[in-house]
């Protein structure tokens, strides 16, 4: 396929490179003018989108997505697929999809899970909103860039799935870190705690696959000084998106709200910026009840 790729940062760059390695013709644009192996760089988003079978975007937020969409939709040919892999608010995803529909372009919102490692290794999971025909047309690209793509329903539902998933993740990571800090104060060995919880009703991805305690469980960012695999800053972004969506949908999410407040304090007032989201554990280690 002929592919336009807009947004060649830490996630978009490796994704575009994997598509090029697989034999697709990839034309890319990024405001930072980065070079990506196998990708032909051009001078504007509109140029990258012109006469392509599929245009992929990986952008920081909904406002930028809306601005880029206004630039590229007039350049895209009718029947092309517009595949947005950014993590943005549901309203922006649905607004962009409406604009694409008016131009006879097939929109998909497909945020990803798996981080930079997943982008580099082609093992991302895509949560996809949009019509079935567009999803099937993009399926071969999902198979190159990732290991799984789930069609979640109409436009906006990919973003809905992503923020619901990450709200669960943020809440369970905080609970896991709190429990380890409590275990320390009760004199319970961390390895013993892991051995019990990881095989009983406290089982979770945060405990079993991404344990926040160094030297316990599979290797994780905790074993690398909490260098980010998934940054606390990004968790805060996703939790805020979840609460924005909850407010719009009149949904009661007290645990999600509490997690958003805790990560906001951690990132913006304490030492969480630039650290992995599991670095909540050393935060709780240093704190008392008051």
Separation of alpha carbons 28 and 73, rounded Å? 16
Compute the distance between CA of residue 59 and CA of residue 47 in angstroms, rounded to an integer: 17
Task: Count Cα atoms within 13 angstroms, Cβ side, for 31.
Answer: 6
Tell me the C-alpha distance between 84 and 163, whole Å: 15
Active-site option among 162, 185, 237, 286: 162
Q: Specify whether 162 is catalytic.
A: yes
Q: Nearest 10 degrees: CA dihedral of 89, 93, 94, 100?
A: 160
Encoded tokens for 205: 């991805």
3-state secondary structure of 2: strand
Contacts of 124 (CB under 8 A, 6+ apart): 15, 112, 113, 114, 118, 145, 146, 147
In total, the chain counts a number of residues equal to 290
Q: What positions carry a catalytic annotation?
A: 162
């Amino acid at each position: 396929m002929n592919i336009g790729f807009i947004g060649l940062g830490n996630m978009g760059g490796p994704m575009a490179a994997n598509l090029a390695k697989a034999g697709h013709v990839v034309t890319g644009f990024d405001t930072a003018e980065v070079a990506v192996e196998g990708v032909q760089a051009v001078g504007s988003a509109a140029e990258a989108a012109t006469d392509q079978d599929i245009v992929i975007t990986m952008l920081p937020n909904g406002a930028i997505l809306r601005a880029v969409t206004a630039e590229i939709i007039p350049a895209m040919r009718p029947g092309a697929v517009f595949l947005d892999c950014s993590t943005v608010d549901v309203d922006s995803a649905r607004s962009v999809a409406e604009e694409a529909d008016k131009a006879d372009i097939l929109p998909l919102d497909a945020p990803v899970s798996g981080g930079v490692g997943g982008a580099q290794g082609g093992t991302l999971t895509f949560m996809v909103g949009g019509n079935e025909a567009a999803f099937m047309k993009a399926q071969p690209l999902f198979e190159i860039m990732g290991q799984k793509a789930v069609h979640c329903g109409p436009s906006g539902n990919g973003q809905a799935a992503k923020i619901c998933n990450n709200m669960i993740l943020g809440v369970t990571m905080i609970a896991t870190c709190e429990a380890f800090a409590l275990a320390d104060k009760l004199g319970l060995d961390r390895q013993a705690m892991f051995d019990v919880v990881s095989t009983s009703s406290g089982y979770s991805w945060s405990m079993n696959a991404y344990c926040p305690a160094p030297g316990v469980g599979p290797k994780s960012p905790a074993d690398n000084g909490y260098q980010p695999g998934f940054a606390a800053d990004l968790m805060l972004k996703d939790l805020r998106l979840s609460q924005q969506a909850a407010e719009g949908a009149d949904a009661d999410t007290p645990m999600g709200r509490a997690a958003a407040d805790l990560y906001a304090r951690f990132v913006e007032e304490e030492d969480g910026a630039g650290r992995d989201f599991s670095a909540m554990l050393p935060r709780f280690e240093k704190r008392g009840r008051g």
